[in-house]
Structure 1
Amino acid sequence: MQTTIMKHGCKDNNKIKKKINDDRIFLTSVLHNQGQNKNFSACIAYANDKIKNLAFVVQLQAFEKRKRQATGCRF
């Protein structure tokens, strides 16, 4: 799922937010349908935790990219 978000790039925040929300909905429905947890609120909490981590990764990668561009470093 992380790579799916990355494809959208870091420039368009609205697109990223929409993708994160779509992934949240998808992940909660998958978790619920697979019956991994009968408690749906627990599924949502789990998905929200996953999404927060992904959002942080997106922000961190955007920061690293800006830092590299500012210093002229390619790596």
Structure 2
Amino acid sequence: MSSIDPTGAEWVKSSYSDGQGGQCVEWLPSHAMTHGVVPVRDSKNPHGLTLTFSGDGWSSFVSSIRGEEFPTI
């Protein structure tokens, strides 16, 4: 798996992220398209950890979110 260099990268905030300062998820489409993995990070902590998903894994995760399959706290 390739490493992710976020320097100068254009992270995109999820349209599902709360605009009030909570639950902000960003992803890196350019990396996803060129490397086949989807990098995801917390926009409130851009220098923190980055998770990576396979394309199929990310698609399943997004479908589950849209289908409200996860319990809310």
TM-score of the pair, normalised by structure 2: 0.31
In terms of fraction of residues, the more strand-rich structure is 2
Bigger RCO (CA 8 Å, 6+ sep)? 1
Q: Which has the higher helix share?
A: 1
Greater Rg by CA:
1
